[in-house]
Amino acid sequence: MPLSLAEIQHQIKTTFGARDSKRGVEGTFMWFMEEVGELSGALRSGDRANLGAEFADVLAWLATLANNAGIDLEAAYRAKYGTGCPGCGQTPCACSPADKP
């Protein structure tokens, strides 16, 4: 059964929230960056067996960081990307390849 972003964020908060709040935003950000580095290593090495776990870790730490910062990830995503590309407003994006995103 699929999980929404809000459900993922809530599950992380329920499971780890007390521990995470003691660590704070700064400490959590360091862990998040470590997991991004591990994901980078798995992508570079082509380690398919570990890749899914690293993506899951990055998502979990992103949810933790959002929880500690008081941000609703689902609402933030919808506000920025809910109607398509935040640059041109279209789906698919019609921005120049030189432009972000």
Q: Label each residue of 25-87 as H, E or C.
A: HHHHHHHHHHHHHHHHHHHHHCCHHHHHHHHHHHHHHHHHHHHHHCCCHHHHHHHHHCCCCCC
Residue 56 lies in a domain: yes
Residue 87 lies in a domain: no
pLDDT of 101 strictly over 70: no
User: Tokens at residue 5, please?
Assistant: 């972003």
Residue 45 lies in a domain: yes
pLDDT tens digits along 34-51 = 999 999 999 999 989 999
Q: Is 5 helix (H, G, I), strand (E, B) or coil?
A: helix
pLDDT tens digits along 54-75 = 999 999 999 999 999 999 999 9
Residue 101 lies in a domain: no
Q: What is the pTM of this model?
A: 0.90
The position carrying tokens 């609703």 is: 72
Task: Output the pLDDT for position 1.
Answer: 84
Counted domains in the chain: 1
Tell me, what CATH number does 29's domain have? 1.10.287.1080
Residue 88 lies in a domain: no
Residue 84 lies in a domain: no
Domain that holds residue 60: 5-70
